Amino acid sequence: MARIISTAIAPPPYRVPQKQAQEFARTHYSNRIRNIEMILAVFDNSGIDSRYFCVPPEWFSSEKSFSEKNQTYIDWACKLGSQASVECLNRAGISANDIDHIIYVSTTGLATPSIDARLINILNLRQDITRTPIWGLGCLGGAAGLSRATDYVKAFPDSNVLLVVVELCGLTFLFNDFSKSNFIATAIFADGAAAVLLSGSGAGPEIVDTQSQIWPDSLDIMGWNFMDEGLQVIFSKSIPDIVNKFTYDQMTAFLSKHGLGLADMEYFLIHPGGSKVIESYRQALHLDSNELTLAEGILREYGNMSAVTVLYILDRYLRESYRKDSNYGLLTALGPGFSSETLLLKN
C-alpha cells in the first residue's frame, strides 16, 4: 500500500490579478482578433481572480526566444521545485537522506540533465537515489505522478518517494501568436510547483487503486506544437463534451471493482481545466454545488497550472478538510493523449 505522507506548494513571486491580465490581452490582441471585446469575456467567465508567474508582468510585453524562455524555465523549476520539496520534507519530519526515489513531472520546459538530477544536487539527496523524469503529460501529470509513485512504493514498500511537479505555463506565451488557443491560454494559464511525499507506512490517505485511460484517435485534442519561438498550445472545444460523455461510465466502472459507487465518495479532488470543465464534471457525476468547491477555490486563486493544479487541491484538502474518520475520495485529471488518470483514496 502507498500513503500520502505530506504535501507542499510553492507559488511563484508575481501575483497578477485577472483584471490586469485582461487589460494586457485587450492591448496585445487588439486589431488582431475579431470581436475582441466580446472574446475578452473569457477572462470574466474563467472562474479566476488571480494567477502567479515566475516572471514579472512586463516580461510578456516583448518577444522572447525559445532558448531564453527555456533557460528561465530551468532556473525557476529548480528554485520552486526545491522550495516545495524542502517544505514537504519538513512537514513530514524526515531528512533528504531518507528519500529513496525522486519523480519529476513537467511539460513546460526541457532540460538534460533533467530537473530531478539538478534537484538531487540542490537538496543534497543520496548519491544512490533512483530517479524518474516524466515529460509530456500536461494537465494529467500531477495525478499520473502520484500513480507512478504508488507503483514504486508497491514494488518497494519500505521506500520513501518524493514527487516534484513544476509547470511554468506562462513561459509558453507566444508573443506573435494571435490564435484563439493562445488567447485562451493567456486567460487561464499560470505557474506553480508542488511536492508530495509517499511511503508504504505512516499517517495520511492510502492510495487504494489507480486507473489510466486513453481514448484512441484523440491526439489533436490537447498538447503542444513545437515552433521556433517555443511551445504553442493546442486546445479543443470538445474537452467539456468528453467529460460529459465518458466520465460517468469510466468512474463507476473503476469504483465497481472495489464494490463502491460515486455515492460512497466523500470528496472529489478534480483538476479544474477551466470553469466549463468543472461544470461538466458536476453534471456528469451528478454532484452537489458544494462538492467541487476545492477545485473552484484553487482555480479562482491560482488559475490553471497544468499538472500542478490537482496537487494544490490535494494540499488544501489535507490542510483544511482531511479527517481520519472519513472514508473514500477520488482524485482525477485529464491530459494530452487524450487521456485521464484517476486515483481512489481512503483516509
Q: What amino acid positions are annotated as catalytic residues?
A: 139
Q: Say if residue 186 is in the same domain as residue 64.
A: yes
Range of the domain at 289: 206-346
Q: Do both 178 and 272 map to the same domain? A: no
pTM exceeds cut of 0.75: yes
Same domain, 284 and 237: yes
Q: CATH no. for residue 245?
A: 3.40.47.10
Say how far apart CA 52 and CA 84 lie, in whole Å.
15
Distance CA 6, CA 96 (A): 14
Same domain, 183 and 227: no
Residue whose C-alpha cell reads 472562474 in the numeric block = 47
Same domain, 230 and 256: yes
| Domain stop point among 143, 166, 199 | 199
Between helix 115-123 and helix 66-92 the angle, nearest 10°, is: 50
Instruction: Provide the domain count of the chain.
Output: 2
54 shares a domain with 27: yes
* 234 and 314 fall within a common domain: yes
Note down pLDDT in tens along the chain; length 347 residues.
899 999 999 999 999 999 999 999 999 988 888 788 888 998 999 999 999 999 999 999 999 999 999 999 999 999 999 999 999 999 999 999 999 999 999 999 999 999 999 999 999 999 999 999 999 998 999 999 999 999 999 999 999 999 999 999 999 999 998 888 888 899 999 999 999 999 998 889 999 999 998 878 777 777 777 877 877 777 766 677 777 777 888 889 999 999 999 999 999 999 987 888 888 888 888 888 888 999 999 999 999 999 999 999 999 999 998 777 768 999 999 888 788 899 999 98
192 and 237 in a single domain? The answer is no
144 and 23 belong to one structural domain: yes
